[in-house]
Structure 1
Amino acid sequence: MSTNADAVFHYHQRTKHQPNAYAKGPDSLDWANQPDPFRRFTGCESVKLPLPGMELACRFGDLDKPETIPPQPLTMNNLGLMLELSFGLSAWKQYDPDHWALRCNPSSGNLHPTEAYLICTDASLLQPGVYHYVSHDHALERRCHFAGDDLSGELYIGLSSIHWREAWKYGERAFRYCQHDIGHALAALSYAAACLGWSPELLGEASDADIASWLGLDRSDDFVEHEREAPDLLCRLRTNQHGCEAFDAQRLTQMTHGAQWSGKALRLSDRHFHRWPIIDEAAHQMQKPATTAERSQPYAFDLPTPSHNLAASRLIRQRRSAQHFDGTAASLPLADFHRILAALLPNAKPPFTAWNWPAQVHMLIFVHRVDTLKPGLYLLPRNANAITALKQTFATDFVWQRSAAPFEFYQLVAGDIRQAAKTLCCHQAIAGDSAFSLGMLARFAENVEAETWRYRRLFWECGLLGQILYLEAEASGVRGTGIGCFFDDMVHAVLGLRDHTWQSLYHFTVGMPLEDNRLQTLPAYAHLRGEISSEGKV
């Protein structure tokens, strides 16, 4: 085993929650220095995008067959709509004097460590250069412009993480949550692009160093210390007129190296009371080099039409993270449950159209209230090859009874497991009061030992699956929420796991939400129309 892999295992083990000791984090929150949730640069040109809020005719069920959605023209209106539905605001919430923004891409603790960038080499759309998207203002900040006329006419979307934003609240475990959020954001981008008949092509072969150079993240003097951004992913946008040629990384390097850069990132916090050096150490150990290009070949299968088949743009904007569930609500219809699970299987629809790698994560399902399905612990394998390995690894007393579903789905244990689900998820009632909850079990040691950066990729996959669950829950008339707090090794003990071969990396829960009537919901971008203040107040 490599020294780097040892360091990754050490980070992962150190940041596990245990019943008698949570992962190391701040003893109290320094509210006066909570990081600004909106990154802005000063000293560079701002390009306002057309006002957001347009609805599309495309329904959520239409995204099951993205090839049937007519590609929309690449205009500033449509580009702005894609960015809004991917990374923009979905609403403001207000409770007495407190107010906060919600976004279309979910985030642990609503802290939003993910930043989005646009690289444009199409002079007919924008002045060619690198742009940073500001969700609050629905605007692009031009960080650099490309010189010369020999441009390729392409559009790229880059994603990065500000680890400090998450570590301010969650301490050492925050690095995990940042990776979840990258997966959420990639899936959000895939869904939003599909609404327009477009598709992001994940350029998974790109190295971290190249992405940092292309987005200007390696310009250390442009960022406040401890608030720098780590490069994560780059996608090329495929529209009816872009993204058909082979990716030319060298050409992109030439353009960004010869560019004129401007702007400096504004400070997010006045001070950094806590330091979490293990996050920087872990990020260093998991840097991704350039790799061989991979492109997935997902298989197509039919999904039933969602029971709440709303306009896709409306459903994306209404997505919320449930805070509480009605533990006495009616059972979730079996058809809705089957559709939700089927959507998690690799297929030829968003967001898997933007995912290049084979499934490494499988679903441990805690069924509480689903019509005609016995409560108990179930397993949804996301590829057939995993079954043999899982049976050999799991506890020997599981029954492995095949359920009557249109895909492989196994009951492991029958019975009321609501209290167990709650206990495993740090005693959170949402895991037991829902219709079902789940844990995401990843093939862990094999990936980390092969290439340490795959640790991040496993969390990206979990976040991508989380976004599927969020939107499919809305399309079933219920609601979901991600659970980052769980007792890692207690979950493994339930399954009979004794080493790092498999690890639980993310939990999720779906059910009928209880609304908090004390909260006022305000429109996402009324402040751009002068209807509310820029802080979200009426």
Structure 2
Amino acid sequence: MMSNKALLYHERTKHRFAGYAKGPDTLDWEMQPNPFRTFDGAAQVELPLAPENIFAPALNVNSIGALLHLAMGLSAWKEFGPDRWALRCNPSSGNLHPTEAYVLAEGIAGLDDGLYHYVSRDHVLEQRRRDDSGQNSDNPRLWIGLSSIHWREAWKYGERAFRYCQLDLGHALGAFAYAAQALGWRARAIENLDSAFIAARLGLDRDEDFGRAEREDPDALLQICLEPDSAPATPKPKAGVWAGKANLLDRRPMYRWPVIDEVSQATLRSPLPTSEETARDSAAGGNIEASRPNSLPIARRETAGEGEKPWSGADLILQRRSAQHFDARHIMPAEDFFSILQSLLPQERAPWTVWDFPPAVHPILFVHRVGEVEPGLYALPRHSQALALLRQLLDPEFVWSRVAGAPDELPLFQLRAGDARGAARRLFCNQAIASDCCFGMAMLAEFDAVERDPWTYRRLHWEAGLIGQALYLEAEGFGLRGTGVGCFFDDETHAFLGMKSTQLQTIYHFTIGAPLNDTRIATEPAYPQKQRPKAFAP
């Protein structure tokens, strides 16, 4: 029986055939909230871009500029008629970008010790706090803080927006994991921090600095480790001089969604007893090991001809886009399909090195056009006990046969053969991308842990976002494109899979295929001649 606010919120915000979750009745695109947070009065630090610093392993202001560019920076500007908008390296629902990034610096050349806020529009750091402690350049340390501004999503999507903010947080975690690995580093989440601690370290609890401005939820704190095997350390609270006032993103909001504030408060993390830190609450079992080499697909290096530039991870990150339409005739090779799925298994490579939580999200695949793989419905259990769990909870008529031609190490099972395009399209809110793609998926999350620890609701969505980030970059590496799908019919998907309990819930859908690009939309460089694009004014 659902008794906590996280589960009640999830039930309340399900899309159904009979009606969608509560959202705004109308949208005034001329009054869209400012997509960029700034802190007025904070000193700015100019940052260099990734291409000039991608192979600079030292921890300094230049390499931090490369890290932030690859993880959270702009990848391009788009124009269509009078409209102009930015694309970023980290994907976001509706391109609304609720996730903010902060830098905590100690002993780093080119930066005072203290706290900084990253402004992707200008590729600069705003100095929020200058610490009193002196620099220790012998032991430079860098932490990345992540927060969410829920109103950015709620403005368009209403009550369901909290879900999308958590998925985007997962995208951002993955973006930092990939960006750090491209630089030869490792991004590691500090897993045992309570939300109040994160808020204090990032200055998110300072009422005097926010005033009427939209508040930010404390989400996660990462340490950037120069050595892959380094254990993350917790930054100590420090005294310092604060500067900057948060800008107001939306001067005249048309709607309010109090249920988002309620679920946000209910899913904040409380301090953990030591025993719980060492025995995290999860129904997942041991990991399924993948045989794929411990190297990024986006870090492939191929022999280049004379005068040609070798392929790099930075190139792929910066070119990533979300597909808007797919070529419904394209057939992807089976070996590419298998390779993409292998990348989703837990292993010692980004983005899975970002934390140690056992996997608890499992893709169900709608395969339409994949080489020698028969069209139909498939399952990819991501830990050793998940196969039994899925067989127990899904339709007893499913056949659960191993896929011919798939690598032995890939736990891919056919559930049912047949054309699944119509079902996928209907379940993905009647969107053509679900039937025109080469394959789509619904991600089933193990929900039992949410009853015991509501904060797990956030983490399950973060894990789904990590899967999404892996899919985006893997697809890009094979000349395809991905699209995350937040609009789907929840319980109708469960019914289609024969589920009769709430122990598993679908929390994110995704599609991959050959993109069809709209040539009417013009593309401009993200930071032309390192000049800043014109500031956005709400």
Fold shared, TM-score > 0.5 on shorter chain: yes
Tell me if structure 1 keeps the 8 A contact 2:6–2:263. Answer: yes
Q: In the alignment, which residue of structure 2 is the partner of 1:360?
A: 360
Equivalent of residue 409 in structure 1, options 412, 434, 439: 412
Q: In the alignment, which residue of structure 1 is the partner of 2:425?
A: 422
Tell me if structure 1 keeps the 8 A contact 2:298–2:312. Answer: no
Q: In the alignment, which residue of structure 1 is the partner of 2:312?
A: 311
Tell me by how many angstroms 1:153 deviates.
3.7
Q: Which amino acid counterpart does residue 520 of structure 2 have in structure 1?
A: R
The answer to whether the aligner puts 1:103 opposite 2:84 as a matched pair is: no
Tell me if structure 2 keeps the 8 A contact 1:86–1:105. Answer: yes
Secondary structure at the residue paired with 1:422? helix
Tell me by how many angstroms 1:44 deviates.
1.2
Tell me if structure 1 keeps the 8 A contact 2:112–2:135. Answer: no
Q: In the alignment, which residue of structure 1 is the partner of 2:303?
A: none
* Larger CA deviation: 490-499 vs 287-296: 287-296
Tell me by how many angstroms 1:270 deviates.
1.3
Q: In the alignment, which residue of structure 2 is the partner of 1:63?
A: none
Q: In the alignment, which residue of structure 2 is the partner of 1:374?
A: 374
Distance of 1:101 and 1:308 partners within structure 2: 25
Tell me if structure 2 keeps the 8 A contact 1:366–1:437. Answer: yes
Secondary structure at the residue paired with 1:10? helix
Any idea what the Cα deviations from partners look like across 1:207-252, whole Å, max 9, x if unmatched? 1000000000001221244610000000111015x99476245xx1
Any idea what the Cα deviations from partners look like across 1:256-305, whole Å, max 9, x if unmatched? xx222111001111111100000000011111123355699975632599
Secondary structure at the residue paired with 1:236? strand
Tell me if structure 2 keeps the 8 A contact 1:424–1:486. Answer: yes
Any idea what the Cα deviations from partners look like across 1:359-384, whole Å, max 9, x if unmatched? 00001000000000100000011112
Q: In the alignment, which residue of structure 2 is the partner of 1:450?
A: 452
Q: In the alignment, which residue of structure 1 is the partner of 2:7?
A: 9
Secondary structure at the residue paired with 2:363? strand
* Larger CA deviation: 333-342 vs 151-160: 151-160
Equivalent of residue 233 in structure 2, options 242, 247, 262: 247
Q: In the alignment, which residue of structure 1 is the partner of 2:306?
A: none
Q: Which amino acid counterpart does residue 233 of structure 2 have in structure 1?
A: F
Tell me by how many angstroms 1:510 deviates.
0.2
Equivalent of residue 123 in structure 2, options 138, 151, 154: 138
TM-score by length of 2: 0.91
Equivalent of residue 302 in structure 1, options 272, 292, 304: 292
* Larger CA deviation: 397-406 vs 194-203: 397-406
- Return closer, same or farther for 1:308/1:266 CA change in 2, 3 Å cut-off: closer
Tell me by how many angstroms 1:43 deviates.
1.2
Tell me if structure 2 keeps the 8 A contact 1:238–1:244. Answer: yes
The answer to whether the aligner puts 1:435 opposite 2:407 as a matched pair is: no
Q: In the alignment, which residue of structure 1 is the partner of 2:305?
A: none
The answer to whether the aligner puts 1:116 opposite 2:119 as a matched pair is: no
Tell me if structure 2 keeps the 8 A contact 1:197–1:239. Answer: yes
Map residues 256-267 of structure 1 onto 2, 5 A cutoff.
Answer: 258-267=239-248
Tell me by how many angstroms 1:393 deviates.
1.1
Q: In the alignment, which residue of structure 2 is the partner of 1:512?
A: 514
Tell me by how many angstroms 1:125 deviates.
3.9
Secondary structure at the residue paired with 2:364? strand
Distance of 2:43 and 2:234 partners within structure 1: 27
Tell me if structure 2 keeps the 8 A contact 1:492–1:503. Answer: yes
The answer to whether the aligner puts 1:400 opposite 2:400 as a matched pair is: yes
Tell me if structure 2 keeps the 8 A contact 1:49–1:139. Answer: yes
Q: In the alignment, which residue of structure 1 is the partner of 2:167?
A: 180
Distance of 1:375 and 1:11 partners within structure 2: 35
Equivalent of residue 461 in structure 1, options 460, 463, 469: 463
Equivalent of residue 23 in structure 2, options 22, 25, 33: 25
Map residues 203-222 of structure 1 onto 2, 5 A cutoff.
Answer: 203-222=190-209
Map residues 26-175 of structure 1 onto 2, 5 A cutoff.
Answer: 26-54=24-52, 56=54, 72-149=57-134, 153-175=140-162
Distance of 2:65 and 2:131 partners within structure 1: 21
Equivalent of residue 193 in structure 1, options 180, 184, 198: 180
**Unpaired stretches in structure 2, ≥5 consecutive residues:** 281-285, 301-310
Secondary structure at the residue paired with 2:174? helix
- Return closer, same or farther for 1:529/1:148 CA change in 2, 3 Å cut-off: closer
- Return closer, same or farther for 1:306/1:336 CA change in 2, 3 Å cut-off: farther
In angstroms, what is the RMSD of aligned CA positions? 2.3
Secondary structure at the residue paired with 1:287? coil
Distance of 1:243 and 1:89 partners within structure 2: 30
- Return closer, same or farther for 1:2/1:422 CA change in 2, 3 Å cut-off: closer
Tell me by how many angstroms 1:51 deviates.
4.2
Secondary structure at the residue paired with 1:363? strand
Q: In the alignment, which residue of structure 2 is the partner of 1:60?
A: none
Q: In the alignment, which residue of structure 2 is the partner of 1:202?
A: 189
Q: Which amino acid counterpart does residue 302 of structure 1 have in structure 2?
A: R
Secondary structure at the residue paired with 1:344? coil
Any idea what the Cα deviations from partners look like across 1:30-77, whole Å, max 9, x if unmatched? 3233111111010111111124543757xxxxxxxxxxxxx8111222
TM-score by length of 1: 0.91
Distance of 1:477 and 1:54 partners within structure 2: 25
Q: Which amino acid counterpart does residue 117 of structure 1 have in structure 2?
A: Y
Secondary structure at the residue paired with 1:92? strand
Secondary structure at the residue paired with 1:397? coil
Tell me if structure 2 keeps the 8 A contact 1:364–1:377. Answer: yes
Map residues 313-328 of structure 1 onto 2, 5 A cutoff.
Answer: 313-328=314-329
Tell me by how many angstroms 1:390 deviates.
1.2
* Larger CA deviation: 498-507 vs 142-151: 142-151
- Return closer, same or farther for 1:383/1:475 CA change in 2, 3 Å cut-off: same
The answer to whether the aligner puts 1:391 opposite 2:376 as a matched pair is: no
Q: Which amino acid counterpart does residue 212 of structure 1 have in structure 2?
A: A
Q: Which amino acid counterpart does residue 128 of structure 2 have in structure 1?
A: R
